[in-house]
Chains A and B, each alone.
Chain A
């Protein structure tokens, strides 16, 4: 299966995302922000970094990039989309996921290995995990505080759409300790931590993140 990884000006983690796709047995396809072209991929990853310098708001300018118009259209037809860190911010700005990410509550950039609890293992990106499993992956962000109004939070919680929750101290002031959420159809997932940096114990704290990419390959093979 072919998985597109978008590169914006200021993207940092596209190379690791492509590597994670290959580790999981998929073919990584580079997508460019300025192209109206998804190159026929089966899924898209919007990786981390500082797209367009994070000017205005994180993800606010990237959301209007030509390639994102294509991603929004494809996501609405059910294509699996994963947004990591800056990618999560972009998916929120693009209204593929509800809510927004704001400055960490203590204002510090947080860079550490972070335990997460898997709350939903039925999305296109999380079927390889056991529900309730705890995984350790890097978190590195300055604007990772998840915010949404109470009715949106109630909807996410009621529908089981919180995918990952921070374990232990809340690192960034996210409401309900939310680290990642999914769309109503479970195809679009966004999270602040970085599973693509934890796919091999040689180069990351664990290989706990690889399950997200294996889950995706499973989902497309089954579909």
Chain B
């Protein structure tokens, strides 16, 4: 088994109202100096050894992310 991480983020040109709301809250909470926040999703998959990179890319591209509005990155990490 291997652990695979998929990070999904809104594309830079797509409005991210949730990230903006977080960014706007930080100064109110006394945290200064943070100029921008983008909010995305982080998936951790436990994957059998015979699942290849092309399959993982297909999972990310067709299901975990919507490529119309989101970018994705797949990484294999040490379990």
Binding site for B on A (CB under 8 A): 56-57, 60, 64, 92-93, 98-100, 102-107, 145, 147-149, 173
Contact = CB atoms under 8 A, between A and B. Distances in A.
A60 B63 contact: yes
Which DSSP category, helix, strand, loop or mixed, fits chain A's interface? Answer: loop
A3 to B, nearest CB: 28
Contacts of B63: 56, 60, 64
Nearest to A58: B66
A100 B69 contact: yes
A149 B69 CA distance: 9
The 6 nearest A-B residue pairs measured at CB: A100-B68, A100-B69, A103-B17, A105-B17, A107-B17, A100-B66
Contact of B17 (A92, A99, A104, A148): A104
A147 B15 contact: yes
Given A56-B64, A99-B68, A147-B69, A173 B17 contact: yes
Contact of B66 (A64, A93, A173): A93
Contacts of B66: 57, 60, 93, 100
A26 to B, nearest CB: 33
B13 interface: yes
Contacts of B14: 102, 147
A148 B21 contact: no
Nearest to B13: A149
Contact of A148 (B10, B64, B68): B68
Interface in B9-67: 10, 13-15, 17-18, 21, 63-64, 66
12 contacts: A93-B66, A99-B68, A102-B15, A102-B69, A103-B18, A107-B17, A107-B18, A145-B15, A145-B17, A149-B13, A149-B68, A173-B15
